């Protein structure tokens, strides 16, 4: 089993810096560990802690967050918001028995293709050292009820008065 | 025409939800007039066999409070689901897992070890722990106890739930509204939480004093400061979860100088209450310095107990990782 296991990393990259850097790494033909699935977001400040928990709960072994360097955020302060959430989220993860090293925040600017290569390789190596996370799935709330709950959410009129 | 039959049941809970029914005060008379209570173990002498003798769907509605921890609670949840047209999760514990759900930070073994062996107040030299089945002598009699599960679950993680009445305990007004909606057949779509779908700040009496942009330089606990009884608690540096919590309670805690702890759970668009509450608080911190941010976050003494106080079992992670991660053995 462990021979076949490969680290699965979900990477949330901001479109202005880190995603562009990953693009640059690709154009520059830099090889790096293929373990991360990249999700492009407009800003690291858009990354809801729920995204990170959902990724881990659904089978990711680690999560990488990439944003612009401090002071460089396209929206001025989104990356600081990401840093604050990340700092607090790491405390929650630790208390939930998940190694905080499974979640990593990196500032990578659009010109740092080589840094994407380095961080991606390090992340794959780090997760490989930690081993698979394999979180036990929570019992699913009953289907029928959930579907309707979501329908209510869409109509945004949920709740009796 | 006979009155609709109603039942109440409790699982892993403190009894506060039952108290909330009594808190209906005179309104309880209206309820009693309109329905026939046929099952309510806390207050009236009905047995499980009375429920078993009912036809399927005989109960018009059953209000179940408490989380699900034991095999007996599972069985009762299933039985009441079968006998009820509407099954309503009553209170935070059955809605999201509640305070008993914080026990998901440990497992059965750890809980038994502490409660029956290690706690300073325990004297148990023989190391006796509850057994699910114990044979007595040679006469063939056996004593049984329900199985104690490893994980606490919310009611909808065990059986289908039609509606949710949130709160610890549910506010009287929401209970009355729900009962009236059932009687008048004016219920929203199934799966709905029977409370307004807005954040508590919207109905908070301190809302006028909430600054346009909250920026917290430090986080305080209620005993550390003299609380201004008019001003927004977040603006005073108190960790109030109003921005992330569903309204409907009319902010009794906040009115009494206590920050909101989030018992009504999230609004309908949020999947993981704690993550969203954490996100909201982190956003309000006024610092861009890594060290300072780390120090500020350290001031939150118990992050799980703070952000997941009522919702750990229903959260995305739902319980502590038992084996501390790591490679498989």
DSSP B60-123: EEEEEESBEEEHHHHHHHHHHHHHEEEEEEESHHHHH-TGGGGGGGS-HHHHHHIIIIISTT--
pLDDT of residue A153: 44
Residues recorded for chain A: 161
Instruction: Write out residues 259-278 of B within 8 Å (CB-CB) of A.
Output: 267-272, 274-276, 278
Q: Distance between CA A100 and CA B28 in Å, rounded? A: 50
**pLDDT classification of A1: cutoffs 50, 70, 90:** low
Instruction: Confirm whether A2 is domain-assigned.
Output: no
- Mean pLDDT of the region B80-86: 97
CB contact under 8 A, B285 and A84: yes
Q: Distance between CA B178 and CA B63 in Å, rounded? A: 11
DSSP SS3 for A104: strand
Over residues B113-124, the pLDDT tens digits come to 999 999 999 999
- Mean pLDDT of the region B221-230: 94
Q: Distance between CA A154 and CA A150 in Å, rounded? A: 6
Single out the residue of A94, A22, A112, A26 nearest to residue A64, CA to CA: A22
Quickly tell me which residue has 């709950």 as its tokens: A149
Largest CA distance in chain B: 75
Q: Distance between CA A8 and CA A102 in Å, rounded? A: 11
* Chain B residues closer than 8 Å to A92 by CB: 274-275, 278, 303-304, 307-308
pLDDT of residue A152: 45
Q: Among residues of chain B, what percentage have pLDDT more than 70? A: 98
Q: B163, B89 in Cβ contact below 8 A? A: yes
* Chain A residues closer than 8 Å to B274 by CB: 92
CB contact under 8 A, B317 and A159: no
CB contact under 8 A, B327 and A131: yes
**How large is the C-alpha radius of gyration of chain A?**
18
Q: CB contact, 8 Å: B221 with chain A?
A: no
Q: Distance between CA A50 and CA A59 in Å, rounded? A: 14
**pLDDT classification of A159: cutoffs 50, 70, 90:** very low
**pLDDT classification of A137: cutoffs 50, 70, 90:** confident
Instruction: Confirm whether A124 is domain-assigned.
Output: yes
Instruction: Write out residues 135-164 of B within 8 Å (CB-CB) of A.
Output: 153-154, 156-162
Beta bridge pairs of residue B144: B133
**pLDDT classification of B27: cutoffs 50, 70, 90:** confident
Over residues A35-62, the pLDDT tens digits come to 999 999 999 999 999 999 999 999 999 9
pLDDT of residue B22: 86
**pLDDT classification of B29: cutoffs 50, 70, 90:** confident
Single out the residue of B93, B123, B165 nearest to residue B314, CA to CA: B93
**pLDDT classification of A134: cutoffs 50, 70, 90:** confident
Instruction: Among B110, B177, B247, B282, pick the best mutation site for testing chain A contact (most A Cβ within 10 A).
Output: B282
Out of A92, A132, A157, the one facing B278 most closely (by C-beta) is A92
Beta bridge pairs of residue A103: A63
pLDDT of residue B200: 97
Instruction: Confirm whether A78 is domain-assigned.
Output: yes
CA-based nearest distance B178→chain A, Å = 8
- Mean pLDDT of the region B185-198: 93
Instruction: Confirm whether A67 is domain-assigned.
Output: yes
- Give me B3's structure tokens: 């009155």
For the domain that residue A82 is a member of, what is the CATH number? Answer: 3.40.50
Q: Distance between CA B69 and CA B80 in Å, rounded? A: 16
Q: Distance between CA B44 and CA B40 in Å, rounded? A: 5
Number of domains in chain A: 1
pLDDT of residue B323: 61
Query: Which residues form the domain of A47?
Result: 9-155
pLDDT of residue B26: 86
**How large is the C-alpha radius of gyration of chain B?**
22
- Mean pLDDT of the region B37-53: 93
Distances in Å between the Cα of B163 and the Cα atoms of A58, A124, A146, B91, B158 are 27, 44, 11, 11, 14
Contacts for B300 with CB less than 8 Å, ≥ 6 apart? A88, A91, B219, B239, B281, B306
Instruction: Confirm whether A147 is domain-assigned.
Output: yes
Single out the residue of B278, B269, B271 nearest to residue B308, CA to CA: B278
**Helix pair angle (A113-130, A18-27), 10° resolution:** 100
Class of domain B1-195: alpha beta
Largest CA distance in chain A: 59
Interface predicted TM-score of the whole assembly (ipTM), two decimals: 0.91
CA torsion sign for B25, B27, B32, B35 is: negative
Instruction: Confirm whether A44 is domain-assigned.
Output: yes
Q: Where are the domains of chain B?
A: 1-195, 200-307
Assess whether pLDDT exceeds 50 at residue A155.
no
Assess whether pLDDT exceeds 60 at residue A149.
no
Looking at every residue in chain B, the average pLDDT score rounds to 93
Instruction: Confirm whether A62 is domain-assigned.
Output: yes
Over residues A74-112, the pLDDT tens digits come to 999 999 999 999 999 999 999 999 999 999 999 999 999
Minimum Cα–Cα distance from B102: chain A residue: A96
Task: Kindly report the pTM of this predicted structure.
Answer: 0.90
pLDDT of residue B104: 96
pLDDT of residue A85: 97
Single out the residue of A128, A78, A71, A130 nearest to residue A100, CA to CA: A130
Distances in Å between the Cα of B215 and the Cα atoms of A77, B219, B237, B273, B283 are 13, 11, 9, 22, 9
Instruction: Confirm whether A160 is domain-assigned.
Output: no
- Mean pLDDT of the region B164-173: 96
Assess whether pLDDT exceeds 60 at residue B325.
no
Beta bridge pairs of residue B164: B89, B193
| Beta-sheet strand order (sheet of B59-65) | B36-39, B5-10, B59-65, B84-90, B163-165
């Amino acid at each position: 089993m462990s021979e076949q296991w490969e680290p699965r990393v979900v990477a949330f990259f901001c479109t202005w810096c880190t995603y562009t850097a990953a693009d640059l790494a690709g154009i520059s033909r830099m090889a790096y560990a293929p373990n991360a699935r990249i999700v492009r977001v407009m800003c690291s400040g858009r990354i809801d802690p729920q995204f990170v928990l959902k990724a881990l709960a659904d089978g990711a072994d680690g999560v990488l967050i990439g944003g612009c360097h401090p002071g460089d955020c396209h929206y001025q302060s989104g990356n600081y918001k990401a840093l604050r959430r990340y700092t607090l989220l790491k405390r929650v993860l630790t208390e939930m028995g998940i190694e905080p090293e499974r979640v990593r925040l990196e500032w990578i600017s659009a010109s740092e293709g080589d840094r994407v290569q380095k961080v991606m390789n390090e992340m794959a190596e780090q997760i490989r050292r930690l081993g698979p996370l394999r979180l036990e799935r929570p019992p699913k709330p009953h289907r029928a009820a959930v579907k309707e709950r979501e329908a209510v959410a869409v109509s945004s009129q949920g709740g009796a008065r | 025409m006979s009155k609709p039959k109603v039942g109440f049941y409790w699982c892993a809970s403190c009894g506060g939800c039952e108290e909330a029914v009594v808190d209906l005060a005179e309104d309880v008379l209206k309820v009693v007039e309109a329905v026939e209570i046929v099952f309510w173990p806390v207050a009236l002498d009905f047995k499980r066999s009375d429920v078993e003798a009912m036809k399927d769907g005989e109960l018009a509605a059953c209000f179940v409070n408490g989380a699900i921890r034991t095999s007996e609670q599972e069985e009762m949840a299933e039985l009441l689901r079968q006998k009820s047209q509407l099954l309503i999760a009553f209170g935070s514990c059955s809605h999201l897992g509640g305070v008993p759900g914080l026990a998901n930070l440990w497992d059965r073994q750890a809980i038994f070890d502490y409660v029956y062996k290690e706690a300073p107040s325990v004297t148990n030299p023989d190391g006796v722990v509850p057994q699910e089945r114990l044979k007595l002598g040679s006469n063939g009699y056996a004593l049984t106890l329900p199985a104690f599960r490893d994980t606490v679950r919310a009611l909808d993680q065990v059986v289908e739930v039609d509606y949710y009445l949130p709160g610890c305990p549910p506010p009287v007004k929401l209970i009355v509204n729900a009962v009236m909606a059932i009687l008048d057949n004016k219920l929203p779509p199934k799966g709905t939480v029977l409370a307004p779908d807005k954040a508590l700040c919207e109905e908070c009496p301190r809302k006028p004093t909430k600054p346009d942009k909250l920026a917290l330089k430090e986080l305080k606990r209620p005993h550390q400061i003299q609380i201004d009884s008019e001003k927004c608690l977040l603006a005073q540096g108190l960790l109030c979860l109003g921005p992330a919590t569903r309204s409907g309670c009319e902010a009794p805690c906040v009115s009494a100088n206590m920050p909101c702890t989030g018992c009504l759970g999230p609004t309908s668009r949020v999947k993981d209450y704690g993550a969203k509450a954490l996100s909201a608080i982190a956003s309000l911190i006024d610092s861009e310095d890594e060290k300072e941010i780390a120090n500020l976050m350290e001031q939150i003494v118990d992050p799980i107990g703070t952000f997941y106080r009522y919702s750990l079992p229903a959260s995305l992670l739902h319980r502590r990782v038992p084996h501390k991660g790591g490679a498989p053995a």
